[in-house]
Amino acid sequence: MMKKMHACLAAAVLLGWHAAAPAEDVASYPSQPIKLMVPWPPGGGVDTTARMVSDLLGKRLGQAFVIDNRGGAGGNIGTELAARQKPDGYNLLMSSISPNAINISLYGKLGFDPVKDFEPVIYVSAVPNILVVPANSPFKTVQDVIDAARANPGKLNYGSGGVGSSQHLAAVQFASAAKLDIVHVPYKGTSPAEADLAAGNVSLMLDTTTCLPFIAGGKMRALAVASKARNPALPDVPTFDEAGLPGVYASSWYGLSAPAGTPRAIIDRLNAEANAVLKSPELQKRMQKLGAEIGGGTPEDYGRFMASETKRYAEIVRISGAKLD
């Protein structure tokens, strides 16, 4: 009988079953390292932001953060895994625009519910999309691009990191707002798309701030920023509003979330400490180098923001016609 019981317990562990643990007193939280799921490979914007924030947050909380990179399927694989973790405050997710707002409209079926399966903790930051062209391009302004595209329907093309990526959907917004017929060229990731743009093989791109080194190195020219205010990393580059094409807003944003059922006291503690981290001069200096806009606020603020982005991108995905299985 005892052997049978041990076998059942072993099977339960293999299946990922967890016994309910007593709620931890928030005063003693955290008493062990915290795992932060990053549903993207190392080195990208989500991963870089996660490591910067968790490093400083860990120092304030007195416990290390362990980064768990689980990339694949546009962030869906790691996000689904995060949804299944124990809601005890020791399992967190670096949530982001694709799995937590876009993919519910882009994919036919998700293995998680981005609203019901998570508790918002805090909005961390956003990096705006930037309209860039090759350095040798004849286009010097947004209006130059619009005029050329209207004069030559279907002749200009734009690169992206793939169907449904932030670059793709940002360009859809641009083309829709300006009523342009431009051709999408999806790549398997941002890096090859940027390389082809810098080489002059693509007409334009609505890239994220990963293009800043190309701009600084004279390989790309920035024409507009898809945010409501100019970006500190590109103070001389106008917004689309300023360039005469209002309403084109596209950013890759990041935040902290926790599995549904995580105690509210722990959520509040994490939110308070993260807000302090986001206000620290050290983090603000590092974020500014990335061209990031720093967030903050309450868990409810982040929840409302994700809900509004989910609704907004449902329409953008519809316009794009993109669908993934």
Architecture of the domain whose range is 33-126+252-320? 3-Layer(aba) Sandwich (3.40)
Architecture of the domain spanning 130-225 = 3-Layer(aba) Sandwich (3.40)
CA 164 – CA 122 distance, rounded (Å):
25
- Crossing angle of helices 264-278 and 299-320, rounded to 10°: 80
Mean pLDDT value across the chain: 91
148-175: average pLDDT: 96
Q: What is the distance between the alpha carbons of residues 138 and 264, in angstroms, rounded to a whole number?
A: 55
Asked if residue 194 lies in contact with residue 214, where contact means CB atoms within 8 angstroms, the answer is yes
pLDDT band of 110, cuts 50, 70, 90: very high
Q: Kindly give, in sequence order, each residue whose CB lies less than 8 Å from that of residue 29, ignoring residues fewer than 6 positions away.
A: 89, 265, 266, 269
Q: How far is CA 209 from CA 68, 136, 266, 310, in A?
A: 24, 20, 33, 22
Tokens coding 3: 């052997």
pLDDT of residue 175: 97
* Domain pair 33-126+252-320 / 130-225, same fold: yes
Would the pLDDT of 41 be above 60?
yes
Where do the structural domains in the chain lie, given as residue ranges? 33-126+252-320, 130-225
- Say if residue 173's pLDDT is above 80: yes
pLDDT digits (tens, 9 = 90+) for 43-79: 888 999 999 999 999 999 999 999 999 999 999 999 9
- Contact yes or no for 69/38 (Cβ under 8 A): yes
What would the pLDDT profile of 257-313 be if each residue is shown by its tens digit? 999 999 999 999 999 999 999 999 999 999 988 899 999 999 999 999 999 999 999
- 157-160 and 204-207 beta bridge pairing: parallel
